[in-house]
Amino acid sequence: GQEGIPQGGAGVMLESARPEDREAVEALARQVHRLHVAWRPDLYVMPEELYPACLYNQALEQKSLFVARLEGLVAGYLRVRRLDVEGNGLVPRRELVVEELCVREDLRGQGIGTRMLQEAAVLAKAFGCTSLRLGAYPQNEEALAFYQKLGFTVRSVTLEQNL
C-alpha cells in the first residue's frame, strides 16, 4: 500500500497500482474514454491502448496511479499529479489534481468513489497540498452531482469557440 493512506471503509483500500493491474486499469480507462469520445469526437479518438506498457510503467514510476481494491479486485482507479502554482500576483500553493477517476460501472453506488476521493484528500494533505482539484465535462451530470455532493465547488468555467 501507499504510506499515509488509511485502509478504506466498506472493504475498499486505495493503494499504488501494481504491474499486474494494467489490464484492469486499461478496461476502466476505456470505459471513461468512450464517454469522452462520444461527447467530444472533435478532441478524442479511441486508441488501440490508453495505457500501453510504456505509459503505464511511467505512471507507476511517478507514483501517480492508484487503484481501489474491493475484496482483492480492482474496483476503480485514480491518476493524480501534484501542481505547484506560483507566479506574479498569485498565492503560492500546491494542489493535487485528479486527472482520471473511474469506478467499475457494476460497482457504482457502493461508496467506492467517495472513499477514493476521501483517501485522495488524505494523500493531498500528506503532500502538503491545500486543495484537491478535478475537472468534468458538463454532459457528465452524474459525475458533477457526485463531486458537488462531496463538497467540490465550481472554481472556473472553460469556454471555447470552434473556428
The strand pairing partners of 52, in sequence order, are: none
**pLDDT range class, residue 71, cuts 50, 70, 90:** confident
- Model pLDDT, residue 10: 52
Q: Which residue has the cell 500500500?
A: 1
Q: Which residue has the cell 499529479?
A: 81
- Model pLDDT, residue 3: 39
- For residues 77 and 25, the answer to whether their CB atoms sit within 8 Å is yes
- For residues 36 and 143, the answer to whether their CB atoms sit within 8 Å is no
Q: Could you give the CA distance from residue 29 to residue 32 in angstroms, rounded to a whole number?
A: 5
Cell numbers linked to 91: 498565492
Sheet holding 131-134, edge to edge: 12-16, 65-70, 73-85, 93-103, 131-134
- Model pLDDT, residue 12: 64
pLDDT in tens, 12-61: 678 999 999 999 999 999 999 999 999 999 999 999 999 999 999 999 99
Helix (H, G, I), strand (E, B) or coil at 16: strand
CA 112 to each of CA 67, 97, 107, 108, 127: distance values in angstroms, whole numbers, following the listed order: 11, 19, 8, 7, 22
Cell numbers linked to 112: 467506492
